[in-house]
């Protein structure tokens, strides 16, 4: 059958998602399984978002609002931008796809880092674009090297900030330098999926860049907002770029329940605060215990931690699975002796440490 498929598709290592809880229960006959593999929100869903979705349920015989009018208006207000600055997506994954098909010609290149969010490379490759990567430096995006790699046909640069899977972040000073003489014909995408967990002072205020630079910011409801299953993300950029993205997206890419959930989630400040508190406290607990175990980790600005386990991470992943703890092995990221764990509830973090000890 491989003769039927476009040749570049054959070369792609497809995205390996975090293992679902139900699948592990079924396959291993386990009753109590926890998942700390996909940087989801262990607190659950905002009660306000649940109520809004319930209320919207009887309307799903109708198509969703193609323009996402009310959600955009609410988002714009909360960000201090105009609705015309916003493009909605079926998760920010879809926006990565929309950005590439809107802006990158077949012979133009995409630039990003090694050991970053896999979807930049996978979606770019599926679309037949060349994706060039630059090594991280001390687990961080190296913006100096990244800039040196820009060539005549470089069109798009992806920076995940904070980065997944390392949790490191690019500071406002580094970003300012990087933007200084960035060629006019290059678009920079700042993927800020984890910005809600930031507790440092030197994180860039990316929204201030969209007026004068060709910058597209990506945000998602999948992580801090606890809505990964409903698929909702958005891009913020100058109206001209947003308008081109609007042309290339599918008309009903954001479903009716997602629009309702998103509007309610923005309002639920208490849920976001509670989530932040859980993550910051959990991070401290995990750091302390990893130190106690003599394990090195990368300090994280996000809701997950990259840990050097000193042995094959896939093996450790399988071992922990037997005890009902799903974490992420870093095989596909090319970080062999590492695992990535999402910071969960207090109980989940305790169970993770207990099982990690056993598995080591
Ligand atoms: C999780 C993640 C996303 C995916 O977000 P969705 O909105 O669920 O598609 C995007 N970028 C990064 C860096 C992520 O870690």
Query: pLDDT tens-digit profile of 117-127?
Result: 999 999 999 99
Index of the ligand 1 atom closest to the CA of residue 232: 7
Index of the ligand 1 atom closest to the CA of residue 39: 1
117 lines ligand 1 (CB under 6 A): yes
Residue with CA at minimum distance from ligand 1 atom 15 = 164
pTM over 0.95: yes
Residue 206: both structure tokens together = 């990316």
93 lines ligand 1 (CB under 6 A): yes
Index of the ligand 1 atom closest to the CA of residue 93: 9
Residue 274: both structure tokens together = 């509670």
Topology (CATH) of 47-268: 3.40.640
The answer to whether the 2-44+270-359 and 47-268 domains have the same CATH topology is no
Q: Which tens digit of pLDDT belongs to each residue from 163-207?
A: 999 999 999 999 999 999 899 999 999 999 999 999 999 999 999
Q: What is the pLDDT along the chain (360 residues), one digit of tens a residue?
A: 888 999 999 999 888 888 899 999 999 999 999 999 999 999 999 999 999 999 999 999 999 999 999 999 999 999 999 999 999 999 999 999 999 999 999 999 999 999 999 999 999 999 999 999 999 999 999 999 999 999 999 999 999 999 999 999 999 999 999 999 899 999 999 999 999 999 999 999 999 999 999 999 999 999 999 999 999 999 999 999 999 999 999 999 999 999 999 999 999 999 999 999 999 999 999 999 999 999 999 999 999 999 999 999 999 999 999 999 999 999 999 999 999 999 999 999 999 999 999 999
* d(C-alpha 206, C-alpha 223), whole Å: 19
Pocket test residue of 17, 87, 89, 93 for ligand 1, highest count of atoms within 8 A of CB: 93
The domain segmentation of the chain, as residue ranges, is 2-44+270-359, 47-268
237 lines ligand 1 (CB under 6 A): no
Helix (H) or strand (E) holding 217: strand 215-220
Q: Position of tokens 């040749």?
A: 7
166 lines ligand 1 (CB under 6 A): no
192 and 225 Cβ atoms separated by less than 8 Å? no
Rounded-to-10 torsion of CA 182, 187, 193, 194: 10
Chain mean position to CA 290:
24
167 lines ligand 1 (CB under 6 A): no
CATH level 2 (architecture), domain 2-44+270-359? Alpha-Beta Complex (3.90)
Index of the ligand 1 atom closest to the CA of residue 163: 13
Residue with CA at minimum distance from ligand 1 atom 2 = 193
């Amino acid at each position: 059958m491989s003769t039927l498929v476009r040749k570049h598709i054959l070369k792609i290592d497809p995205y390996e998602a975090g293992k679902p809880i139900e699948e592990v229960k079924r396959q291993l006959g386990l009753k109590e399984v926890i998942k700390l593999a996909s940087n989801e929100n262990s607190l659950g869903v905002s009660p306000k978002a649940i109520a809004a979705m319930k209320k919207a349920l009887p309307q799903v015989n109708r198509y969703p609002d193609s323009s996402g009018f009310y959600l955009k208006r609410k988002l714009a207000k909360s960000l201090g931008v105009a609705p015309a600055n916003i493009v909605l997506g079926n998760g920010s994954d879809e926006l990565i796809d929309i950005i590439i098909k809107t802006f990158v010609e077949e012979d133009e290149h995409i630039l990003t880092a090694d050991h970053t969010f896999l979807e930049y490379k996978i979606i770019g490759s599926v679309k037949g674009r060349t994706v060039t990567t630059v090594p991280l430096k001390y687990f961080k995006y190296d913006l100096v090297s990244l800039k040196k790699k820009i060539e005549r046909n470089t069109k798009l640069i992806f920076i995940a900030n904070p980065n997944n899977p390392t949790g490191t972040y690019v500071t406002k000073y580094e970003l300012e330098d990087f933007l200084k003489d960035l060629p006019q014909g290059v678009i920079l995408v700042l993927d800020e999926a984890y910005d809600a967990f930031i507790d440092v002072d030197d994180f860039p205020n990316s929204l201030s860049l969209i007026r004068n630079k060709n910058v597209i910011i990506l945000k998602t409801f999948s992580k801090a907002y606890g809505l990964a299953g409903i698929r909702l993300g958005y891009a913020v950029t100058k109206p001209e770029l947003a308008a081109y993205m609007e042309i290339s997206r599918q008309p009903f890419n954001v479903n009716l329940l997602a629009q309702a959930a998103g509007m309610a989630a923005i309002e639920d400040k208490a849920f976001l605060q509670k989530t932040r508190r859980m993550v910051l406290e959990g991070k401290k607990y995990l750091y302390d215990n990893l130190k106690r175990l003599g394990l090195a980790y990368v300090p994280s600005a996000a809701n997950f931690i990259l840990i050097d386990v000193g042995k094959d991470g896939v093996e450790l992943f399988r071992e922990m699975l037997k005890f009902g703890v799903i974490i992420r092995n870093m095989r596909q990221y090319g970080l062999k002796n590492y695992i990535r764990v999402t910071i969960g509830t207090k109980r989940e973090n305790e169970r993770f440490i207990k099982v990690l000890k056993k598995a080591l």
